[in-house]
Amino acid sequence: LSEDLRAALQSVCATAPDATSYEVDWTRRTTGSALAVCLPASTAEVSAVLQVAARHGVGVTVAGGRTGLVAGAVPDATVVLSTERLTGVRVTNGKALAGAGTTLAEVQRAAAEQGWAYGVDMASRDSATIGGTVATNAGGLHVVGHGTTRAQVLGVEAVLADGSVVSRLHGLAKDATGYDLVQLLVGSEGTLAVVTQVLVRLVAPPRSRQTVLVPLASVEDAVRLVDRARREARGLRAAELLLAAGVELVRDVDGLPPLPPSPVQLLLEAEEGLEDVVPDDALVASDAVDAARLWAYRERMTEAIGRLGVPHKLDVSLPQDRLGEFVDALPSVTAGCTTHVFGHLGDGNLHVNVLGPAPDDDRVDDAVLRLAAAMGGSVGAEHGIGRAKRRWLHLSRTPAELAAMRAVKQALDPHGLLGPGVLLPDVVTGGGPGH
């Protein structure tokens, strides 16, 4: 880091004394190097950091809660811009306006204090930031009820690569005035702008809550049951899949009590009506504490797998009618590895976790992602593409789409300042898109 750049950054905002924890991703699979870590406390400071970086020709990697699972927040000889000081949340008229660095849990708490709920929830809630969830279009546990983050976002304030500020925070229900810059930034993974504030819609909290864990013989049976619950139960908001090996793992690692043995467990949550939908051998939570006990099998999965080693995390989505076939085919492409699959069945979203191959050996990633794509699925369901998956983006995006995405990037960030190495694959001359 040149003394000039260091001095320029320090003149516009606080910097962190030690970059080490910003240089590795949550899974420990990807490491990088930071030129400096900037901690802006206002939109004006974010703008100033970007202008300094542009003047010195260095890239900027935006970091939120750093719970992302595709290494999008890991710097690559870039300046880290952390949103951790852009906090605070205000709830008015069924909407929450939050600083980008506010955690998901804080947004949920603020909503609940005013009698509302926020439609997005996930196990990383205490660290993941609202800005990070916008940047990745996070899904989570309640997509089946409320949609992904995209469906909650009403507005953002963001700083573009040239330091200019765009602000769409009016929250008007109707606004047909041209390109939707707010939605363009949802899922842009820190490559188009730094999101500094987010306005989200809130939802009515559930009137009542039923949580059940259903043992089933196959993934196909689980898909059929979710379909029925959608039609017949009221207010279905979660439909989570666990397989026997995963249940055993969280039991071993976390000491949870055993469940009756079954190849598949389906966790369903709805407001009412589940008793008419699930079979008699389902475990039904009697109260909130009991519900948390059932949720523990699902919520502790990611951390339990992380304790086994450095997982290759492959987050894919499939058409509902191919989910069972995909799970059955996985052993053929993950032979010799330990594989744990779980996920948000209601969204056709499976998390394939493979342990065994070295972190930099991506042959198994390639095989699993190609299998999903061949079955009409997506190679990035809710975690994004980040640095970890950009090589495979072309499996889910056509050459024309990739060209349009590059054109957007070029227009908003012509010098490639924001999120270098994230999302868009390098252009390979002489070959096709990606490689």
Ligand X SMILES: Cc1cc2nc3c(=O)[nH]c(=O)nc-3n(C[C@H](O)[C@H](O)[C@H](O)COP(=O)(O)OP(=O)(O)OC[C@H]3O[C@@H](n4cnc5c(N)ncnc54)[C@H](O)[C@@H]3O)c2cc1C
Binding residues for ligand X, per CB under 6 A? 26, 61-69, 72-73, 83, 100, 122-124, 128-129, 131-133, 135-136, 138-141, 189-190, 194-195, 302-303, 382-383, 386, 419, 422
Nearest-approach distance from CB 276 to ligand X, in angstroms? 28
Nearest-approach distance from CB 254 to ligand X, in angstroms? 13
End-to-end Cα separation, the chain, in angstroms:
33
Q: Which residue is nearest to ligand X (CB)?
A: 132
Phi then psi dihedrals of residue 222, to 5 deg: -65, -40
| Residue pair 157/130 in contact by the 8 Å Cβ criterion | no
What per-residue string of b and e applies to 333-366 under the rule 16 or more CB within 10 Å gives b? bbeebebbbbbbbbbbbbbbbbbbbeeeebebbe
Nearest-approach distance from CB 73 to ligand X, in angstroms? 4
In the bound state with ligand X, the residue whose beta carbon lies nearer, of 108 and 133, is 133
In the bound state with ligand X, the residue whose beta carbon lies nearer, of 124 and 265, is 124
Nearest-approach distance from CB 67 to ligand X, in angstroms? 3
C-alpha distances (whole Å) from 289 to each of 2, 97, 286, 300, 431 are 55, 31, 8, 16, 56
State how far the Cα of 79 lies from the Cα of 66, in Å rounded to an integer: 15
In the bound state with ligand X, the residue whose beta carbon lies nearer, of 62 and 267, is 62
Alpha-helix runs per DSSP H in 255-287: none
In the bound state with ligand X, the residue whose beta carbon lies nearer, of 333 and 349, is 349
Nearest-approach distance from CB 316 to ligand X, in angstroms? 13
Nearest-approach distance from CB 359 to ligand X, in angstroms? 17
In the bound state with ligand X, the residue whose beta carbon lies nearer, of 127 and 320, is 127
Nearest-approach distance from CB 6 to ligand X, in angstroms? 22
In the bound state with ligand X, the residue whose beta carbon lies nearer, of 140 and 434, is 140
State how far the Cα of 217 lies from the Cα of 266, in Å rounded to an integer: 10
Best CA proximity match to 411, nearest among 250, 188, 223: 188
Best CA proximity match to 190, nearest among 434, 413, 427: 413
What are 83's two structure tokens?
């949103």
In the bound state with ligand X, the residue whose beta carbon lies nearer, of 346 and 386, is 386
Identify each DSSP E strand in 251-398 by its residue range.
264-270, 283-284, 312-317, 338-344, 349-355
Nearest-approach distance from CB 222 to ligand X, in angstroms? 18
In the bound state with ligand X, the residue whose beta carbon lies nearer, of 122 and 333, is 122
Alpha-helix runs per DSSP H in 26-164: 43-56, 104-113, 130-136, 143-146, 149-152
- Whats the size of the chain, residue-wise? 435
Alpha-helix runs per DSSP H in 189-338: 219-232, 244-254, 288-299, 301-306, 323-333
Nearest-approach distance from CB 336 to ligand X, in angstroms? 26
In the bound state with ligand X, the residue whose beta carbon lies nearer, of 109 and 228, is 109
